[in-house]
Each structure stands twice: as C-alpha cells, then as structure tokens.
Amino acid sequence: MISVSRKLGVLGGLSRPSTIRDHNLINREVLDLTCNRATANLITWSFDPDTIVHLLSQDGWPAIAHQIEEAVANLLLEGVDGLMITSDTLHCVLERESVHLAVPVLHIRDALIEEIRRLSLKKIGFIGTSVTMSNSYYGDLIRGHHDVDVVLPNQNLWVNIDYSVCNRIYNGECTALELETYNQIMTDFEAQNVDGIVVASSEIALAFNKPHAVPVLHTARIHAAAAARWCVAGHDIVRPELPRYDELRSVSAGSHDVIADDTSKIPVTLPYSDSLPYPHNVKRKGKRKTGASLRASVGEQRAPGS
C-alpha cells in the first residue's frame, strides 16, 4: 500500500447518504488509479441539512457562506492541501458571496466541462435544483459558451424537482410526484435529441439509476474522479479507459439506490424567489403538500441570449 501525500478537505453534501457516497466514490477512484495500492487522504466536514435547507429557503446566502468559511477554517487546522465542495447547490455560494478560501478548490463545474469535451457531447439535458439551474455557477455552460447546446427542464417543473430533493434529504424515499416529474423531463430530453444528460445533484441522481439510451453524467462521480486524480498526482497511476460517467457498470435487478452504492445569477425569470421553496420542516408538513396535481408539459427551456 502506497501513501497518498496530498490531503483533501471535503465539504459534504446536503444529506448524510450523499456525503458517505462521495467519500466512497473518491476512494474507489483512487484505488482504481493506483491498482488498489492506495486510498485517499480525506478529511470530511458534514453540514447540518436542516440549517442549510432552511437558509436556502430563506435566501440566506451570506449565512451559508459563513458556514462554509467556518468549515474550511476547521479543515485547515487538519492540514488539508486542497478543498472540494461536493454539493452543486453549495458551489453557487462561491459565485454569489465573497468566500475566502486559503487552499485550491477543485471545482465541480470545471470537471464536468472537461468530461463533456472528452465525450464530444454537443447537446445535453441538464437537471439540478432550481438554485443550481438559475445561478451563474453553471451560467456559461447553460448559455452555450462552451460550444454545447443545453436543454433545461420546463420551469413549471422546477418546484417539483426541489421538492423531490428535499424529500430525499429528509425521508430518503421516492414519491409518485418524483417519478412523474422525472419521466416527463426524460421524455422531453429524448424529444430534443440530446446526446447526454447531466445530473447535477446527488439526491436527483438516485432517480437516474437505470440505463439510458444516452450517457448520464453524474457530477458527483465526475467530481470524485477529478479529486482522485488530484490526490494521487505525482504517483504512477492507471488511466481508466471506460467513460467516467460509469454507464457500463451493471445495474442490479430491483435496486433503487445503485447510484448511492457506487459511489451569481443568470437571466432566467423564476416563478418564485432564487431559493429552495421548502423550509427545513418539510417532513412535518407531509409529502403531499406540493403541487402534486401540477402536470405541465415539459418543453425546451433556455436562458435568454443563448
């Protein structure tokens, strides 16, 4: 077993399962790169989901930035050499607020763009929380500045997507509304002839655990692969030949959580404020408080000027 000298600080996802999954994904990638001779040197900080989701629902970006700075300060005391934020939604804070980080940050956006170019994709469907899809972190990609045509879900369905994420965080289960929403989105993506789909949320990824006709790029996996390469830099590594979106791994029959086991603004008019619409007490209010009857037909949605 060889030693990986670079120590990576990991700011976990919005739920305990996603944080554990990200840790496992990074270690699996390091093992693959080093032929099982090394594991990652990681220090993980896990956020309280109640606090983060509540702040998102209240547009509390400065308070979230403070939470990140506090977490990084603690990680620096552990001697980390680099940092990764595993949540796509929390990455948006780096664009909106002045967050001081004293170490290099492995950006999930840069890793995704590199993978899109590696696969020569020209038109992709993109799905994330309303915060992720409407903020500037992925703005250049969504507006087509990287020579990629991007299709977003119909805005009428964004509230359903956010609800499904909150439900996954607190209840860890699928709902009929979630299935209906993602089936509509997938139908539209197929109608738009996309040659790839980007899933920019660990919780949403749980609903995309079946084979599709086009590659599905999970940002969590791509980010983990980039983090693993950073961790083993300077060591003899093996470059994998398979696509890093992992489409060729078999899906076990009857499994609903295969992904879990493997493992600042753009000009868009939102039907609600630039925040998650569900506060931290969503579980107590019940799962059916959302617009379960909302049946908007899914259409191509682009940012103005694209």
Q: 0.95 cut: is pTM over it?
A: no
- Read off the tokens for 40: 């990652």
Residue with tokens 């996996």: 221
pLDDT in tens, the chain (306 residues): 555 668 999 998 777 888 888 899 999 999 998 888 888 899 999 888 888 888 888 888 899 899 999 999 999 999 999 999 998 988 888 878 878 788 889 999 999 999 999 999 999 999 999 999 999 999 999 999 999 999 999 999 999 999 988 888 877 778 888 889 999 999 999 999 999 999 999 888 877 767 778 899 999 999 999 999 999 886 554 444 433 333 333 333 333 333 333 322 223 233 334 555 544 444 444 433 333 333 333 334 444 444
**Model pLDDT for residues 63-114, shown as the tens digit of each residue:** 989 999 999 999 999 999 999 999 898 888 887 887 878 888 999 999 999 9
